[in-house]
Amino acid sequence: MRGRIAGGIAAKKKEKRDRLCEAAETLFRDHGADATAVEDIVRGAGVAKGTFYLYFRSKADILSEIVAAKTAEMIHRALRKAESLRFPREIDKVVGFVDELVEAMRRDVPLLELIHHNLSWNLYRHFLSRTGNDATMRELRSRFDDLMRESSRPADAELVLFAVTELTVALSYNAIVRREPAGIARMKPVLLDSVRRILS
């Protein structure tokens, strides 16, 4: 009986936390993080303001979690897609991964804007530190380590993943959103060639 009650309480807590994250993500995408207040998030989630602080310390805390989770999901999907294609060398898979990442951001500009404005090394470290508890992150790290084996710096896979992701997000943001210094159709080949050079 106690186990069933405890399980019900845990499920309700998870449901409230999920509602807060969903409401925050929608607001951040639609209005931007700066224009979104904690009051907006709790109103969107249909919970009391105090409930927010049971799960998150601040708006920055929930924003970091959402950006980390969404970035990890996007990277994970791009890695899976790249691995499903046939490439002669592992380094070509990394370039294919970057290509898939660019296409994912082209399809979801609000997510690109959210990631571009909020991705940082500390945030990146935060979601990598979840590796021990999160099967998706464990798999993501393992997949990227495999892809990095052929590169000139396999021991620095984590740093290279950050550098490649940061370069890809920054260039994609400027090319897709601002069309600077050119649109993504023109900039993507430059990016892919740059990544190939970094890795080789």
Same domain as 51, residue 120? no
CB atoms within 10 A of CB 199: 20
Class of residue 106 by CB neighbours under 10 A (exposed 0-12, middle 13-18, buried 19+): middle
Domain boundary among 14, 33, 56: 56
**Cα separation, 83 vs 65, whole angstroms:** 27
Domain tally for the chain?
A: 2
* pTM of the predicted structure, to 2 decimals: 0.76
Q: Is the pLDDT of residue 12 over 90?
A: no
Q: What is the pLDDT at residue 76? A: 79
**Model confidence pLDDT, tens digit, residues 22-54:** 999 999 999 999 999 999 999 999 999 999 999
Q: Are residues 127 and 52 in the same domain?
A: no
What per-residue confidence (pLDDT) applies to 131? 44
Q: Name the residue range of residue 50's domain.
A: 1-56
Question: Which helix (DSSP H) or strand (DSSP E) does residue 188 occupy?
Answer: helix 184-199
Residues 44 and 89 in one domain: no
Q: Verify that 66 and 138 share a domain, yes or no.
A: yes
Q: 69-83: buried (b, 16+ CB within 10 Å) or exposed (e) per residue?
A: bbbbebbbebbebbb
CATH number at residue 49: 1.10.10.60
CA 112, distance to chain mean position in Å, is 9
Tell me: do 109 and 132 sit in the same domain: yes
Q: Are residues 21 and 99 in the same domain?
A: no
User: What pLDDT sits at residue 129?
Assistant: 59
Give the tens place of pLDDT for each residue, 104-156.
999 999 989 988 887 766 666 655 555 444 565 566 666 666 666 655 555 67
Do 48 and 100 belong together in one domain?
no
Task: Give the integer Cα–Cα distance in Å for 116 and 93.
Answer: 24
Q: Which residues contact 199 (CB under 8 A, 6 or more apart)?
A: 91, 94, 95, 148, 151, 152, 160
Cα separation of the two ends of the chain: 60
Residues 44, 113 within the same domain? no
CA 137 to chain centroid: 11
Same domain, 9 and 101: no
Average pLDDT over residues 90-102: 86
Same domain, 114 and 141: yes
CATH number of the domain that 132 lies in? 1.10.357
